[in-house]
Amino acid sequence: MAEGCAGEVNAGAPAIEVRGLTHRFGSSTVLDGIDLSIGTGLVYGFLGRNGAGKTTLIRSLLGLLAPAAGEIRLLGTPVSGGRTPADLWRHVGYLVEGPGLYPTLTVQDHLAVAARYRELSPAAIDRIVDQLGLGPFSHVAARALSLGNRQRLGLALALVHRPRLVVLDEPVNGLDPAGVVEVRQLIRGLADEGVTVFMSSHLIAEVARLADRVGVIHTGRLVDELDASQLGGPRRLVSTFRSADAARCALAALRAEHIDAALSGADPATTVESIDPAALGAPDRVARIIVGAGAPPTSLTVEHVDLEGLFLDLTREVAA
């Protein structure tokens, strides 16, 4: 809870709730009926290709864009551009599209302005400076900071008031490997304290490490949501063949043995994939079935599918 909060938000509501969110730029639909419900104390990863609608959704969440249709609630409070209750932002922190810094102001100056605006004590500044390792740079002007330390300052400004919900766009941008680890630990620690973190990033491996749930957006639509149990990477059995006819023959033989499988890859498909436990648990049996059907494979492997693979598969499928 932020210091100096005058009002309360709905403690029992989802941290983020979106219903039917649609946004258009001219005749182009950028968001197409997005529905989201994100509980409290979660790290929610948000993935999408360039132009998929990530930034538009984030800006809509923060009341910076007015959608064509749909509803947004943060911590139970409706977000509607300039009509959003001002007290909501005492409970929300954000870093979007890089920190907006004043070149001549020092780290300490930036945080002092934020503390004055948010009615925070000097102790709040000391806490966040220590938390993000900004002490050696307290009296350095923003224009003289490295990209990584500018990002640290942006995170400090997003977190100085101890918000209940944090929206972060590319939070580890510009950080060295040690800094990435520090921010990873910081984000995980926030969630452990009950703070909800909505995090958009192109670093899929970081999202996989941190997120409790992941949403994938493509061409303006939320195409899937994955929970933590799926982020470690499911397995699939992949068989490749010299011809599409052989692949179809193998597929028919597997299905005749009640093993669920499907064709995949280019058209005409020469690959058969299965996530059926009956296949994953007995690849030798699969080999015997397809060889016996007159369709010997050129390869047969059990593959581990990581979040990157799932993301590429999901966005390819929708684009096809």
> Which residues, 6 or more positions from 53, have their beta carbon under 8 angstroms from its beta carbon?
23, 30, 31, 34, 217, 219, 220
Q: Does this chain's domain 39-64+80-228 share its CATH topology with 235-304?
A: no
Of the listed ranges 118-132, 136-150, 190-204, 294-308, the one predicted with least confidence: 294-308
Q: What is the pLDDT of residue 82?
A: 75
Q: Is the pLDDT of residue 81 over 80?
A: no
pLDDT in the model for residue 303: 77
Q: Is 157 helix (H, G, I), strand (E, B) or coil?
A: helix
Report which residue type is found at 223.
V
State percent of the chain over pLDDT 70. 93
More confident residue, 134 or 208: 134
Q: What is the mean pLDDT of residues 125-133?
A: 94
Cα angle: 17, vertex 23, 28; to 5 degrees: 150
Do 158 and 148 touch, CB atoms closer than 8 A?
no
Q: What is the mean pLDDT of residues 204-221?
A: 90
Q: pLDDT at position 2, please? A: 40
Tokens of 82: 């300039």
Determine the pLDDT at residue 320: 44
pLDDT of residue 265 exceeding 80, the answer is no
Of 73 and 308, more confident? 73
Map out the domains of the chain as residue ranges.
Answer: 39-64+80-228, 235-304
| CATH number for the domain running over 39-64+80-228 | 3.40.50.300
Q: What is the CATH number of domain 235-304?
A: 3.30.70
Distance of CA 229 to the CA centre of its chain: 15
Is the model more confident about 99 or about 320? Answer: 99
Residue 319 has pLDDT above 60, yes or no: no
User: pLDDT per residue over 130-186, tens digit each?
Assistant: 999 999 999 999 999 998 999 999 999 999 999 999 999 999 888 888 888 888 999
pLDDT confidence of residue 7: 43
| Nearest-angstrom CA–CA distance, 282 and 247 | 19
Determine if the peptide bond prior to 268 is cis (ω within 30°).
Answer: yes
The model's pLDDT over 70-79, given as tens digits with 9 standing for 90+, comes to 999 999 999 9
Helix, strand, coil shares, percent, the chain, to 5: 40, 25, 35
CA–CA distance from 238 to each of 38, 246, 255, 302, 309 (Å)? 34, 14, 15, 6, 14
Range in 8-17, 144-153, 301-310 the model is least confident about: 301-310
pLDDT of amino acid 235: 74
CA-CA-CA-CA torsion for 96, 225, 43, 206, nearest 10 degrees?
-70
| pLDDT band for position 22 (cuts 50, 70, 90) | very high
pLDDT at 279: 87
Computed over every residue of the chain, the mean pLDDT equals 89
